[in-house]
Structure 1
Amino acid sequence: MIENDVHARLLAAYDEQLRTDAEASGAINVAVHGPLLLVTFAGGNGFVTYRNLGGADVDAVRQLVTAAIEYYRADTAVTRVEWKTRGHDRTPGLPEALQENGFVPDPPESIMIGEAELLSRPVALPDGVTLRQMTDEADVLAMCAMQAEVFGDPTSDHIAGALLRRLSLDDGMELWVAEADGRIVSAGRLEPVQGTTFAGIWGGATRPEWRGRGIYRALTARRAQSALSMGKTFIHSDSTEFSRPILERSGLVKVSTTTPYRWVRQTPPGD
């Protein structure tokens, strides 16, 4: 019963604090359509968020999806859109409606939440490994290159550029890495959510040869310590099945699942 109460309390905090306005922070435009917020970020990124769909049935859900994609299609500056579904929502027919309208699902992830105090307990690092916060351009570029390598993605100056712009705004985001012999072996981001008691931990990546040695847990603990210094009491993250067990050992609880659906504008042949 106590475990169920904790789960319910954390999930309620997630729904109340981390959806709608919190997900639209930093947007260049937000349009309201029924229960939906149709958010547009710099760089041509659209994002659909909502607290719930107000008990919509299958037909009403399909109409919401159609209206959302028509809105973004009309804005030629938007090249990609994310609709982030949650496993605990009542949204009949939503996956089918999204795919009918050209959205493609990513693998499901676990929504993890925990008390920052529990996560903040120091974890011993292997000899020769140190943690450091990064702010310089060269460091950020090196961190992004490492993360791209670990995730199997192409190196993107766009991602590094976006992080550097965020750092210049001084909005609270922090970039942390673990290093050995001057080489980045693990990295992650801390995202305090304004107007809430939450901070998010994102972008966690550790080189394969350094895994299983407590480095990522130590990086999580250090970010939790920083979150506490900002007055944040909860940590949240969407995690893959690889990182979920690590976060559970650190004290986070799986409260639900999320499956992002992505739409990408198709460029006509010859353009």
Structure 2
Amino acid sequence: MEGIIFNIQKFSIHDGPGIRTTVFFKGCPLRCEWCANPESQAVNPQVLYNNEKCLHCETCVHTCPKGAIKMEDGLIRIDHKTCDHCMECVKACPGKALTQEGEIKTVEEVVDICMQDIDFYEESNGGVTLSGGEAMVQYDFMMALVHALKEKGIHLAIETTGIVDHEKFKKAAPLFDLLLFDVKQADPMKHKKGTHVTNEVIQKNFKWAIEQGLNVLPRIPVIPGFNETLEDAKELATCIKEAGAKDVQLLPFHQFGENKYKLLGKDYKLHEVEALHPEDLVDYQNEFIKCGLNCFF
């Protein structure tokens, strides 16, 4: 069983309890305009281009067997629809301006990497967190990995958008010790405007998980122009309270992923938007507290 992983981050402390290893899966059904990991959206491996390292030698242009690379206005342009991910251009690039994002790994390879830090998990009550992208996009690979890690007695968490077929979600969700569940908008149309999908399936899976008594922590990325108003906060608080959750975590908007859009040759619509900090969201937080929720950053 093989899957496509774009990062395995050790010693994570923000993706669940204790010291953890976070495994980042490629592939996501959402297209959030603020996405901090735009390289995670496509399932396939991708080629990233760093113009600052480029020697403009056009070696990649001549190397690509599909003719997917061209030099235009002094910049390398990659046609990702034509590219078949052979990575010959990455191997040939003398300036290391081209890099590969995402690589094929077996379940055994991922488990071996995770098990290297078993001592840290045991000492800190940590474990492994699956993230992305959306790990459930690669459903069969994810399930095989989950079962392999469960056999090792590892605490498992998942950062999930919740947008997966409900029957599949019902099989997968109970296997996790913690579901870090993104809740972005209460209004379906506003949700679609910012993420390109509506939230009916997300809300259905979210409510089901809580009804089953699973350990679910809703987390809200607070994004200017999308869900940062007090009215948004009130609607989200009501939605989360009615679903039966007791806690909620706020994730203030940041700009950590901005440079990745440039490397992917993508436009980033929020590049002039200022980052948010907890002190900016005191009134926002209070809307959840007034609703009887334990709201924290």
Both proteins in one fold, TM over 0.5: no
| Greater strand share, structure number | 1
Greater relative contact order structure (CA < 8 Å, 6+ sep)? 1
Q: What TM-score comes out, normalization by structure 1 length?
A: 0.30
Report which of the two structures shows the higher radius of gyration computed on alpha carbons: 2
